[in-house]
Structure 1
């Protein structure tokens, strides 16, 4: 039983140590604390069998059942380490250095056996970005990106590659993680000047263009992030462009696309196409994914495999998404400059479990038991109040470990365990007993100078603006780019107003003309007063609140269909999921008519 108590490793200026998690939080006595003040990195193997860390000029590997060091590798320049998918191999990377004595440099990507540290193969890998070799789930396939080419090796035989795919220097690839009969690989082929970039999905070994299972092309893309579900059957691609050349967004431009090994492709339609995307995560259940997007306060939406919105979490100040290992609890957070808001949701009931605040958090990781999570304040992001805390999913703080003011905490990680170690448990909404945080909460009251405290004073923030001795600021004429952006914005507003004034075609499922139904947009709101105002403006609404919800939902879908029809008329090629949405128009009109007439 003791072996199944979650434990976590910490590293910082006090060295490296390993401690038990809940319920006892004591140090693991079998592990000898490394007091080296220059521990540059640490990692557990995916199954938790091995633990490796960079201790000054050496890399050490420990076997986690006994916590005894089983290998020590002399590597004074190593900067990064990573285990293969089954933990059989440990990979290390060092910076590429040339000198008078060695003008050509030398290999600095090394693949070692985890059980004894024996060197298997070395490669020259100059770039630290994407330096890691990628492995299939069973380690039979290994791919390495070197100088714009992906080399594939089989059965850990690195003397000769079996396939080579050119992706150019800015290209990327990603092997699916799923346990499937075949292996699947996604590639990004960046375009040259004036030519689009391509993302293609292949079955392993069938790498000709005409053999691709799915394709997507992009014109405005600087980089692509591949996000697989755990089964390796579905893939999300987050495309980003740092600078929006149209001037429509200060934050650049992003879009989210869906591909599957069955050849299905779709674009994930967000309510505001120009808004930034903050986080994208697949549920461990593999049938849905969650996206946080938009300007603050942001929206968070749950989508199914058809890229259809199936649940809205409402607008709040969020920028992070964390599923526990079972996928039954979702944590939505707002960190960085937002303040540390934490929400925990029951994903089966789509119900909020609890809310809490974890201020100054720079790290958050779920425990492998799926019931606890850790937040930490780490350097160099924040050098004050370093330490970590452990919480229960009901929002209760159970434990905190502060660092002293003179010391820094750099990283905290949970030990990994095989997937069947901790079974999924039913969710209890009653908060467990916890502790009071030692860190004081920030005051929500406005600052008052000492002379104004205890007095009733009415003032506004800009009361003195008109009395400034410098007079009103001189208004500079807008630039050409600003005028162009303003013109586009006004055109969009005009088009939106014209769309709202349109009436839908009066046809039923048989194409027969029916009574005219005026479809006008209804602004969604959680406030009763706003809902009453909208109800008064829409003659189609009834006295039944549940029926009104259905009417609003259908009208919202019909508005989306109108927009898609305009895009199709303008010559835009629609995705499969968008065409399917168009085909539902007749049925939606009939349903709306039935709701209004009954």
Structure 2
């Protein structure tokens, strides 16, 4: 009899392809053959497609209807005749298929009709319909077990329990917590948590985390205020215990940045909140939680950008160095992560072992517009798709050691729009040990672009003694450049500190020490090594640098303690910084000795 591992070995994730030639399905590695049981749809206007989260169904829209196939047989089990559907999505357990189409008002129907529909994917039966005018964030939110479903209606969240879509009953579960612009239900099991973004008009905006069913406005589990939030994106860890809020504004009113402004905030179900402090100025390009849930990566800063791993206390624990990157892709197991740069970047891919913090391999995928991991966690796919790029369309399949295994280019008359891996339950493919030796593969058909910097003819063959710093990559961990705001605050702090020392010295000089004969001795205050502005306390430049860093941290701690005494509520990362004071003083004493 075949064992479970043997059965897993027989499972080959397939690839769905959507383009100007229609919808087709092919097998993944190692065969890459078309799936014979699937009947290709030749429609030239296939608008969207999707696999269900548990991998039971595959659906697509071909301009005249929505078709659903059972992946076990690849045969059509339902066809929904709605020709205007633009977007589709399945519920977490594959129970419902949701479709959205544009909201239309006509002379015969001035109020418009429903445009958001819930269907049974097994037979195409209509379950419920709603009105949801905007396509942005149209998707209903579900708990992972589908016990609750939430929709945003007129800035209120309406919650349906146990798939009971009775509007009258759901009205009693409406979240009356203020004007809600966006919300998200945590992916974890009960007790369920819901995070909401409530934009402020003249004051700050709020991100608030609630525990279901305790939904009154005065009972949030965690509360975080912030500014500059034209849009907020939510990033949950897999267990639904921590969430990151990326607040973005399109325009920086101060004129300091062309890219607008972003801030990253942390909330968790224990009530802890924190601002994620970034050590380089510039936009936040990407945020991603590890599937192992204990850490997350942020890519941020002007190019070349920094990539940093943070722990649950929002403390940086590992730096990947500075490079031209703007995208993060964890494999399903979380033991490998891809860092890369697409769009206007050159598409160099780095594959890292997340457990050992070690680089596995690198590869080049220029002009890529899409990257997706296979559910087996060992292969990934890159693609060049239209309309972003209409030349050199096609997709490639790679091994995690950076080896190209398969390439399928499109001809100039055809366009590739989307490529998707088939989905499976998360526990089907087991995590395997990482191997650093590259597997056998093929050479890319397209010539690789030169990585050499362009030199004019007059400069060729000569030694060049300068670099364009904006184009320099530093893959090693490096010291971050202090921001302008940091330097400004530091200057004020040092001036205030010097003033206090001067006043204290003057006070001691005036009072003096009384001797036995009643006279006073004038005493001049001498700064201790820990408060002196001169950090050159040893003959070792490296030690002096470390001493300077420690003194800066001690100054920050001193100010935080002052704020704490004055009654200010500190965030979790600030409290953790105070706890390290004794350790820093001890380290400083050892360096000075």
Same structural fold, with TM-score higher than 0.5 when normalized by the shorter chain:
yes
1:184 equivalent to 2:197? Answer no
1:164 and 1:210 map into 2 onto residues whose CA distance is: 15
**Which residue of structure 1 aligns with residue 296 of structure 2?**
289
Structure 1: how far apart are the matches of 2:192 and 2:76? 35
Encode CA deviations 1:345-398: one digit per residue, 9 max, x unaligned.
111110111111110000000111111110000000000000000111111111
- After superposition, the Cα gap between the structure-2 partners of 1:205 and 1:553, relative to the gap in structure 1 and judged at 3 Å, is farther
Aligned residues between the structures: 538
Backbone CA RMSD of aligned residues = 3.0
- 1:538 is displaced (CA, Å) by 5.3
Is the CA contact 1:150–1:167 (under 8 Å) kept in the aligned structure 2?
no
Deviations 1:218-244 (A, max 9, x none): 232212111100000111111112222
* Pairing 1:267–2:275 present: yes
How far is 1:47 from its partner? 0.6
Q: Distance in 2 between matches of 1:169 and 1:583?
A: 38
SS across alignment from 2:89: strand
Change in 2 beyond 3 A, CA 1:209/1:552: farther
2:584 to 563, 581, 588: 588
Deviation of 1:7 (Å): 1.1
Deviation of the 1:245 alpha carbon: 2.1
Contact 1:332 1:343 in 2 (8 A): yes
The answer on whether the counterparts of 1:379 and 1:408 sit within 8 Å (CA) in structure 2 is: yes
The match for 2:529 among 516, 519, 532 is 516
Match of 1:23 among 25, 30, 34: 30
Gaps of 5+ in 2: 1-6, 467-482, 502-525
What whole-Å deviation, never above 9, does each CA across 1:235-294 have from its counterpart, x for those lacking one?
11111122222333222221111111111111111113x421000000000000000000
Supply the distance in 2 between the matched residues of 1:374 and 1:406 (Cα, whole angstroms). 23
Output aligned runs, 1:152-551, within 5 Å.
Answer: 152-160=159-167, 161=170, 162-166=172-176, 171-179=181-189, 181-192=190-201, 194-272=202-280, 274-445=281-452, 493=487, 496=490, 516-517=529-530, 539-540=537-538
Shift of 1:145: 1.0
TM-score, normalised to structure 2, is: 0.84
Question: Whole-Å Cα distance in 2 between the matches of residues 334 and 206 of structure 1?
Answer: 42
Mapped to 2, the partners of 1:285 and 1:140 lie a distance apart of 25
| Structure having greater relative contact order (Cα 8 Å, sep ≥ 6) | 2
Per-residue CA deviation, residues 110-147 of structure 1 (Å, 9 max, x unaligned), is: 00011111000001111111111111111110001122
Structure 1 counterpart of 2:517: none
Deviations 1:400-434 (A, max 9, x none): 11011110000001011111211101111111111
TM, length-normalised to structure 1: 0.83
SS at 1:95's partner residue?
Answer: coil
* Structure-2 change in CA distance of 1:295 and 1:573 (3 Å): farther
Kept in 1, the 8 Å contact 2:96–2:120? The answer is yes
Hey, what's the Cα distance between the residues in 1 that align with 2:410 and 2:577?
A: 55
Deviation at 1:582, TM superposition (A): 2.2
| Aligned positions of 1:554-593 closer than 5 A | 556=549, 558-563=551-556, 565-566=558-559, 574-593=570-589
- Mapped to 2, the partners of 1:412 and 1:288 lie a distance apart of 29
Alpha-carbon shift at residue 454 of structure 1 (Å): 12
1:118 & 1:540 partners in 2: Cα distance? 79
Q: Could you say if the C-alpha distance between residues 170 and 252 of structure 1 is closer, same or farther in structure 2, counting changes exceeding 3 Å?
A: farther
SS in 1 for 2:590: helix
Distance 1:574 1:116, change over 3 A: same
Residues 186/541 of structure 1: CA separation in 2 closer, same or farther (3 Å cut): farther
Q: Deviations over 1:71-90 (max 9, x none)?
A: 00000111110000101000
Matches within 5 A, 1:32-71: 32-71=39-78
Following superposition of structure 1 onto structure 2, how do residues 111-130 of structure 1 map, counting pairs within 5 Å?
Answer: 111-130=118-137
Q: Is the 8 A contact 2:176 2:216 kept in 1?
A: no
Which whole-Å CA distance do the structure 1 matches of 2:559 and 2:441 have between them?
A: 56
Q: Secondary structure at the match of 2:583?
A: helix
In structure 2, relative to structure 1, the CA distance for the partners of 1:111 and 1:576 (3 Å cut) is same
| Equivalent residue number for residue 471 of structure 1 | none
